[in-house]
Amino acid sequence: MSRKPETLHYASTHEWVDIDVVDGQQIATIGISAFAVEQLNDLVYMDLPEVGRKLSAGDEFGEVESVKAVSPMYSPVGGEVIKVHAELPDSLDSLNDDPYEFGWIIQLKMEGDLPDSLLDHDAYQKQCAEAG
Amino acid sequence: MSYLFHTDDDRREMLASIGAGSVQEIIDLQVPDAVQLKRPLRLPDSTDELNLTRELNQVAARNASTATHVCFLGGGAYDHFIPAAVDEIASRGEYYTSYTPYQAEVSQGNLQVMFEYETLVTQLTGLGVSNASLYDGGSAATEAVLMALSIQRQRRKVITSDVVHPQYREILEVYLHNIDAELVVVASDADGSSSTLVEAIDENTACVLIQSPNFVGRVESVSQIADAAKASGALTIQCFDPISLGRLKRPGDMGVDIAVAEGQCLGNPLAYGGPYLGIMACRDELVRRLPGRIAGQTTDRRGKRCWVLTLQTREQHIRRDKATSNICSNQTLLALRASVYLSLLGPHGLRETTDHCVAKTAYAKSVFANAHRFEVVHDTPSIKEFVVRDLGEAVPSLLATAEENGMLAGIDLTPMTQQASSGSSPSLLPSQYQNCFLVAVTEQRTRSEIDQLASVLQSAPQLASVMTDTSL
Amino acid sequence: MRNQQATQLLFELDRPGRRAHQLDAPDVPMPSIDALFDVDDISQAPPPLPQLAEGDVVRHFVGLSTLNMSVDTHFYPLGSCTMKYNPKRNERIASMPGFASVHPMQASSSVQGLLKCLHELQGMLAEISGLPGVSLQPAAGAHGELTALFVAAAYFQSRGENRRVVLTADSAHGTNPASAQMAGFETQTVKSNADGLVDLADLEAKLGDDTAVFMLTNPNTLGLFDRQIERINQLVHDAGALIYLDGANMNAILGITRPGDFGADLMHYNPHKTFSGPHGGGGPGAGPICVRDFLAPFLPGPIVDLDEESETFELLTPEQSIGRVRSFFGNVGVLLRAYIYIRTYGGDGLRRVSEDAVLGANYLLSKVRHILDVPHGDRCMHEFVASATRLKKQSGVSAMDLAKRILDYGFHAPTVYFPLVVDEAVMVEPTETESKQTLDAFAEALFRITDEAGDLVHDAPHSTRISRPDDVTAARKPILKWSEAEPSSSSDS
């Protein structure tokens, strides 16, 4: 399976979310966009939440650091953390190459609906182009 | 004038280049007239080097010091010997007139010193990681507590003991006053055990702050406290005495999570209280919450080993209101002195220094124990400090007599048993230390100085039969 | 030519059996440690410190010192840090045993000479700031900020006012919001306007009955005195809030204007900057604070007080004091140097210091603005902030490249990438203790760098022992102490 950026939802704060349905339950996989990874430049550290933490849409779930900047990561959707990508902090290099597949950060058992504020790929690309 | 450079010609040329008629004109463009000071500052007239040196030499001579008096004062600052090489190295302008190593290429000296200092502190404490220093022992203890609270977000209680340095607890109280945290000061057990403290630890306890040797010179059962804390998920912070580690177990070997200390004893002058050196080390896993600067090793673009400031995202200049602390300086010059000091002592020199303290303190205790007027309050062993009770209940006049005779004999503990400086708080020390004074005996003290102290105190009327039996 | 003993680590010079500092046997009986102490409390071996000869130690640390740039050896125009000359008389006088070898727990009666100096210093700082309440306790500027905020919190609590918000400027030092947070406040940021001054509309919008303190740096970090200061003063005080002045830039205004006269209620000094330090490789500093009379009862103790009747100096803690923020009195060694410095110059002299600092900065600005853009005008106070944005677009040379290349010309770099409100910021503070010739040479070097080939600049510095350390690996895989397992290759070629 390979996740295609075109099919994902994006928060204006540069997180992506992919929704799967497993046994009738919506599972949200969350990461940060290629644009964000590029902007942050040379990531050095990532702080991840513990499994079981409950998040509302828009809550900070962790931080990613470059040498001289810290960026909080916000959950695009609400739910309970059921999985964290524990190997990721030790292979931040790979995040540059593969932000959408290997670069997944957390999985949530989703609660509530997909917020209206999320952008589709085109709208997100447009936002990035304006910022860049 | 003094350290200024510009000649009148320089000034004219500089103003011409700026395109301004005068400096005042430049100031007037920015500083509103209404807020300008229209009179000279009311300060003493300027003084030349010769006269200022002469005058301040006389002013300095009005102070008693370790140069004029034999010092038995401790309480967190100690008259340990400072080898000549420490002063010689620290007085190099390349060290003391440089600043924070923002440009690593031209700061490798300071950066390597910081890295070596951090390594020496980890060797000293047995803990995994050290920062490049904080202001002093007291604020380091407080920073350690704040660090523990930030790690233990769900726990708000801070437990400490009434024989942790009273001033350190005063600082802690100020810092915790405005934030969501509860400070619990547990009464120390008369038998020197830690059972009351251990019982106070609960599931809401973020950390336990202890001092060992504590303010009254007793060695605490650190391992036992750390085990209890760990069992209930709390962190243990030990305030330690670096000089004691020639003999005592290291904090890291006793299960301590964060160790802090006053580093004045490591080659830094007494200087009436500062600048001093706040030492702080912690377990490896906690490094992301460690406050203060940290130097780390890396390589340069040609692969050469070098040193840089690292993990800076913890700090205020990047994380601003979410930083681990607001601290932005570190006491590099004092950390340098501590590093030189520890390098000169090495493991054997440190052990000799500890042993001298232990031996001379034991001797001094025996002298006081044999004096009728005095009682050595605790019979537990000391590294370099102990409490003496004056049965004559006249500690202030006793200390004054000693001072007249060239001795700084000890710290009067009575005021600390009465009230805290901030008014409403309870007393800083247990009432059992009324009419007591704290005596510190470093490796610098000699048998004859200790005997002299005894004889000076003996010279007071009530001490007629003090030294009849001095057998040890 | 480089001495290898400097670049090897102490731990690599370690040779078991070597000794430096040794003590003869004590002149009292040596008790048995095992018998005296509980076996659980003592360790069999002392800590594994390196074993060295005194000659090892001295050559090592003296060698290391030569790898630093310093004010004694180089022009050090590090903006915001006031790297002025550190007078040698300060060092000698502060090292006199009557000052340096005084124990902090000595009775006040035995340190009257020292207390007299500190008492006079309190008065001097009050006069220079126009704020009468002084505490010398805080150990550094950031510590002074925090202490002043504790004082402000205690003041509002005493009045039963619940003010929870501290406003900081977006151009402020990061210590401002960090201190506010530690003092239990929430922080909000006030924007700068196009002139680099406080955006009054934004300030007005954010001021409210929950605002406790507005933290202002004036002159600000762009080196500009905020000429709207009277309006700021009115707005903040009308809202019932206090103005805190970050005194980092006092070197620009000594005897010219006083914080207390332009509206500040509380402030800290950085004596290691303004009053000639030294900076000690990053510290020690000191951070004395001054406050208005109605805030003085909350100051931390101890404060030196003169008993007029007995003409003796005593230590007092105010009735409603917040408590203490540091052990003992404070950073007395640093404070004494400030005292000696102020005595050296006197009142007129201090004004000359600031005038020359302003002259030097404006002179250098008049040269640099032909080389780099200076977004906030052609006049400044004691420092200015240029931008390398245009240069970066034209030739790919960033502020960082400039900073690295200027080292090759024998100058310390300016502060770069601060303040955050200027893109590719290059912040230059020459101070009053540099000659016109030095400033000319620095401007000339900057000019030459802008003309140099990209690679030469990108790979700079070339004349230092190391160049462009790898910060990313340092942060990703931190090595924070020496250990035997780490590779020890350190040879210089």
Rounded CA gap, B190 and B184, in Å?
18
CB contact under 8 A, B313 and A68: yes
| Neighbouring chains to B with at least 3 Cβ pairs closer than 8 Å | A, C
Tell me if B215 sits within 8 A of B189, measured CB to CB: no
Mutate to test the interface with C, among B35, B100, B310 (most CBs of C within 10 A): B35
To which H or E segment does residue A78 belong?
strand A78-84
Tell me if C37 sits within 8 A of B381, measured CB to CB: yes
Q: Look up residue C144 and give its two tokens.
A: 């002074």
Got the DSSP string for B260-280?
Answer: EEE-TTTT---GGG-S--EEE
Q: In this predicted model, what pLDDT tens digit does every residue of C103-117 receive, in sequence order?
A: 999 999 999 999 999
Rounded CA gap, B344 and B290, in Å?
28
Tell me if C226 sits within 8 A of C376, measured CB to CB: no
C60/B contact by beta carbon, under 8 A:
yes
pLDDT tier for residue B464 given thresholds of 50, 70 and 90: very low
Provide, rounded to the nearest whole percent, the portion of chain C with pLDDT above 70. 98
CB contact under 8 A, C49 and B116: no
In single-letter form, the type of residue at position B163 comes to V
Determine the 3-state secondary structure of B236 from DSSP.
Answer: strand
pLDDT tier for residue A113 given thresholds of 50, 70 and 90: confident
Residue C194 DSSP label: T
Q: In this predicted model, what pLDDT tens digit does every residue of B132-180 receive, in sequence order?
A: 999 999 999 999 999 999 999 899 999 999 999 999 999 999 999 989 9
Q: Tell me the mean pLDDT in the region C139-157.
A: 97
List CB contacts (< 8 A) between B318 and chain A. 68-70
pLDDT tier for residue B426 given thresholds of 50, 70 and 90: low
Q: Tell me the mean pLDDT in the region C221-248.
A: 97
Predicted confidence (pLDDT) at residue B425 exceeds the cutoff of 90: no
Lowest-confidence region among A33-37, B381-385, C65-69: A33-37
| Neighbouring chains to C with at least 3 Cβ pairs closer than 8 Å | A, B
CB contact under 8 A, B313 and A47: no
pLDDT tier for residue A93 given thresholds of 50, 70 and 90: confident
Lowest-confidence region among A127-131, B113-117, C100-104, C212-216: A127-131
Angle of the B23-30 helix axis to the C332-368 helix axis, nearest 10:
100
Predicted confidence (pLDDT) at residue B463 exceeds the cutoff of 50: no
Mutate to test the interface with A, among C420, C476, C479 (most CBs of A within 10 A): C476
Rounded CA gap, B312 and B292, in Å?
9
Torsion over CA: C296, C302, C306, C307 (sign): positive
Q: In this predicted model, what pLDDT tens digit does every residue of B233-279 receive, in sequence order?
A: 999 999 999 999 999 999 999 999 999 999 999 999 999 999 999 99
Lowest-confidence region among A100-104, A106-110, B144-148, B321-325: B321-325
pLDDT at C305: 97
pLDDT at C487: 54
List CB contacts (< 8 A) between C398 and chain A. none
CB contact under 8 A, C67 and B179: no
Query: Strand pairing of B235-240 and B205-212?
Result: parallel
Which position has the token pair 């000799």? B352
Provide, rounded to the nearest whole percent, the portion of chain B with pLDDT above 70. 95
pLDDT at C332: 98
Instruction: Measure in Å the smallest separation between the Cα of C239 and chain B Cα atoms.
Output: 21
To which H or E segment does residue B159 belong?
strand B157-161
Instruction: Measure in Å the smallest separation between the Cα of A67 and chain B Cα atoms.
Output: 7
To which H or E segment does residue B150 belong?
helix B137-151
pLDDT at B192: 80
CB contact under 8 A, B313 and A70: yes
Q: B192 Cβ partners below 8 Å, 6+ apart? A: B218, B220, B378, B380
pLDDT at C377: 83
Cis peptide upstream of residue B213 (ω within 30 degrees of 0): yes
Lowest-confidence region among A14-28, A35-49, B204-218, C52-66: A35-49
β-strand partners of C169: C190
pLDDT at B185: 95
pLDDT at C454: 85
pLDDT at B466: 40
Q: In this predicted model, what pLDDT tens digit does every residue of C61-76 receive, in sequence order?
A: 999 999 999 999 999 9
List CB contacts (< 8 A) between B423 and chain C. 319-321
Give the Cα-Cα-Cα angle C311, C313, C317 (nearest 5 degrees).
135
Q: Look up residue B305 and give its two tokens.
A: 């080993």
Angle of the B332-369 helix axis to the B108-125 helix axis, nearest 10:
30
pLDDT at C491: 45
Residue B190 DSSP label: T
pLDDT tier for residue A111 given thresholds of 50, 70 and 90: very high
The residue among C286, C343, C133 whose CA lies nearest residue B59 is C343
Rounded CA gap, C292 and C106, in Å?
31
pLDDT at B419: 66
CB contact under 8 A, B313 and A69: yes
Q: Tell me the mean pLDDT in the region C144-154.
A: 97
Q: Tell me the mean pLDDT in the region C1-28.
A: 90
Question: Among partner residues C92, C256, C317, which is closest to B31 by beta-carbon distance?
Answer: C256
Rounded CA gap, B183 and B403, in Å?
38
Which range in A30-44, A100-114, B417-431, C145-159 is most confidently predicted, on average pLDDT?
A: C145-159
Rounded CA gap, B18 and B454, in Å?
72
pLDDT tier for residue B420 given thresholds of 50, 70 and 90: low
Those of residues 422-451 in C touching chain B at CB distance below 8 A are 432-436
pTM for the complete prediction?
A: 0.95
Chain A's closest residue to B309, CA to CA, is A67
CB contact under 8 A, C471 and A45: no
pLDDT at B465: 42
CA dist B431 → B12, B228, B415, B416 (Å): 70, 28, 10, 9
Predicted confidence (pLDDT) at residue B197 exceeds the cutoff of 50: yes
The residue among B251, B110, B422, B281 whose CA lies nearest residue C480 is B281
In single-letter form, the type of residue at position C281 comes to G
pLDDT at C50: 98
Q: Look up residue A127 and give its two tokens.
A: 């936002």
Question: Among partner residues C356, C466, C480, which is closest to B4 by beta-carbon distance?
Answer: C356
List CB contacts (< 8 A) between A92 and chain C. 476
Those of residues 262-321 in C touching chain B at CB distance below 8 A are 262-263, 276-286, 300-302, 317, 319-321
Rounded CA gap, C454 and C465, in Å?
21
CB contact under 8 A, B6 and C359: yes
DSSP H stretches of helix in C268-310: 271-274
Longest dimension (CA), chain B: 86
Which burial class, exposed, middle or buried, applies to C16 when counting CB atoms under 10 A from its CB (0-12, 13-18, 19+)?
Answer: exposed
List CB contacts (< 8 A) between C353 and chain B. 4
CB contact under 8 A, B307 and C469: yes
Determine the 3-state secondary structure of B398 from DSSP.
Answer: helix
CB contact under 8 A, C471 and A67: yes
pLDDT tier for residue B101 given thresholds of 50, 70 and 90: very high
Got the DSSP string for C218-234?
Answer: SS-TTS---TTHHHHHH
Cis peptide upstream of residue C29 (ω within 30 degrees of 0): no
Angle of the C436-450 helix axis to the C332-368 helix axis, nearest 10:
60
Give the Cα-Cα-Cα angle B132, C480, C488 (nearest 5 degrees).
125
Tell me if B123 sits within 8 A of C43, measured CB to CB: no
Question: Among partner residues B122, B340, B411, which is closest to C57 by beta-carbon distance?
Answer: B340
Tell me if A119 sits within 8 A of A11, measured CB to CB: yes
C-beta neighbour count of C29 within 10 angstroms = 12
Mean pLDDT of chain C: 95
Q: In this predicted model, what pLDDT tens digit does every residue of C366-404 receive, in sequence order?
A: 999 999 999 998 999 999 999 999 999 999 999 999 999
Q: In this predicted model, what pLDDT tens digit does every residue of C336-376 receive, in sequence order?
A: 999 999 999 999 999 999 999 999 999 999 999 999 999 99
pLDDT tier for residue C277 given thresholds of 50, 70 and 90: confident
Chain C's closest residue to B78, CA to CA, is C103
Mutate to test the interface with B, among C102, C257, C358 (most CBs of B within 10 A): C102
